[in-house]
Structures are given as structure tokens and as C-alpha cells.
């Protein structure tokens, strides 16, 4: 079974700055995942042709089910508010998505703690201190019937603020233990692997640099599990026509 996580940068190419929906579809087809976690996903945003990027990706991969979860309602970089899940149809949104070729028994959404105030932070780009308003962060969880047996899979996009993303990860792992095992956590965690190779009881299924896409030096995107029997057969981090991240793709099986 193939699992993959990909921060799609709302379908934008870093080479020409444009969003062409065909490039998103091409990227998803090339990944060819059975379970796909996406981050930085647009819904009804002008910058991405007001498309439903989750639905486009689902059709491209042949998913039997998919779920988009908004982290914010409105337009990133302009006017927005924290999403509640009760937004009216047609509301522009931005968040994460989980897509599957395997049947889903159930879906769950969790909201992660965020820094509630604007704060100063030094950013490498544009190399100065800016006042940052941290975006809300969400988690989508599915109980899947996979060829390897029932599995709980979660997707998230954690904060880029050092230290705070670890607070969010601690909350997430604690809450994920309330779901039946085995469990897999996928997403852009905005942190490099710990030196021990362990993530609060989880192990990595794939080690490969994923950022920046053109010449990756850091792994910010991860697929983790608490399943000791899950075996890794192959790991890839292909450069694709969109995004400043590479996808992390793992083929897994059981002995």
C-alpha cells in the first residue's frame, strides 16, 4: 500500500508563480497513492481559479472518499478568521485534506492549540522581524479499511513557530491515542526529525529531505506510526510541478 503526504502550496509553481490546475492533477497522478494527505489546500479561492482542489485531487487519484477540513475561513494573507466547521457553502477556505482509495469507516476533526496573540518573530524570508498572527491548525482523522487491515490515519499541518509546533504535536499524539490502533500520522510538521528518530512513541516510515523542493536540505514532511509490524518497502521524495515542498511517498506492507 502506498501512503503519501504533500504540502501543495495551493497548487502554485515556484518556478513561474502561477496556479495551473492541470499541474496539480499531474502531480497527484505521479504520486499514485492509496492514501494521500494534502496541506495548504484551497477551496473557492480566487488565486486558484475558485476550484475545489480536494475534489480535483480525488478525481486524479481515483479516491473513493475524501475530506477537506478548513483551518481558516476567508483568504490567507488578507481577511480571514478561524474556521469552525459551520461555514456556509461557497465560503472561501484554506486547510488540509485526506483522500483515500480505501473505504472509510468514520471521520473526525480536531483543532489544535494556537498562539492567541500577535507576536514578533524573525523570518528567514524576508530576513527581518515581523509581527506574526499565527494561523489556526486542524487535524483530520479517518478510520480506514485498508488492504493491510483497519488503520487510523491522521493528517495535519503544524505551526512554523519553533517550540509551539512541538506543543501541538504533543497534544495531537495524546488525542490520537484515544482512537483505535494501529495509527499513522502524516503531514507537514514544520520540524526536522528528532535525533533519536522517535516521535513520542511513533516511528518514522520515511526519511528523506523534502524542503526546499529544488534542492532539499530538511525534512519537514513526515509519515509516522505506532504500528511495529508495518514494514517499509520503498521511500521516495519526488520533485513535482507544483509547490516549494517535495512529496514524501512510502510503500508499506506487512510481513
Per-residue pLDDT at 196? 65
Closest CA to 249 of 29, 54, 22: 29
Segment (H or E) for 155:
strand 149-157
Per-residue pLDDT at 111? 95
Q: Cα–Cα distance between 38 and 42 in angstroms, integer?
A: 10
Closest CA to 250 of 241, 93, 237: 237
pLDDT < 70 positions in the chain: 77, 117, 119, 123, 125, 196
pLDDT digits (tens, 9 = 90+) for 14-33: 999 999 999 999 999 999 99
Per-residue pLDDT at 129? 81
Question: Would you say the pTM of this structure is higher than 0.85?
Answer: yes
Per-residue pLDDT at 135? 87
Per-residue pLDDT at 172? 96
Task: Name the DSSP letter for residue 233.
Answer: E
Residue with cell 475561513: 73
Amino acid at each position: 500500500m502506498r501512503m503519501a503526504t504533500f504540502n501543495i502550496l495551493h497548487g502554485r509553481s515556484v518556478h513561474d508563480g502561477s496556479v495551473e490546475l492541470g499541474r496539480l492533477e499531474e502531480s497527484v497522478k505521479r504520486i499514485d497513492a492509496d492514501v494521500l494527505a494534502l496541506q495548504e489546500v484551497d477551496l473557492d479561492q480566487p488565486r486558484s481559479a475558485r476550484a475545489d482542489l480536494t475534489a480535483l485531487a480525488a478525481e486524479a487519484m481515483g479516491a473513493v472518499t475524501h475530506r477537506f477540513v478548513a483551518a481558516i475561513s476567508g483568504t490567507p494573507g488578507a481577511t480571514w478568521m478561524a474556521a469552525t466547521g459551520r461555514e456556509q457553502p461557497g465560503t472561501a477556505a484554506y486547510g488540509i485534506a485526506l483522500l483515500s482509495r480505501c473505504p472509510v469507516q468514520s471521520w473526525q476533526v480536531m483543532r489544535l492549540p494556537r498562539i492567541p496573540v500577535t507576536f514578533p518573530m524573525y523570518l528567514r524570508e524576508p530576513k527581518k522581524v515581523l509581527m506574526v498572527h499565527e494561523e489556526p491548525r486542524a487535524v483530520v482523522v479517518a478510520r480506514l479499511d485498508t488492504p493491510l487491515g483497519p488503520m487510523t490515519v491522521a493528517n495535519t499541518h503544524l505551526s512554523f513557530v519553533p517550540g509551539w509546533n512541538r506543543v501541538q504535536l504533543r497534544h495531537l499524539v495524546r488525542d490520537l491515542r484515544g482512537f483505535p490502533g494501529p495509527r499513522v500520522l502524516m503531514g507537514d510538521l514544520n520540524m526536522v526529525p528528532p535525533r533519536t528518530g522517535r516521535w513520542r512513541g511513533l516511528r518514522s516510515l520515511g526519511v528523506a529531505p523534502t524542503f526546499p523542493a529544488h534542492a532539499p536540505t530538511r525534512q519537514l514532511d513526515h509519515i509516522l506510526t505506532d504500528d511495529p509490524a508495518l514494514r517499509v518497502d520503498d521511500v521516495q521524495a519526488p520533485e513535482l510541478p507544483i509547490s516549494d515542498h517535495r512529496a514524501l511517498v512510502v510503500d508499506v506492507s506487512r510481513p
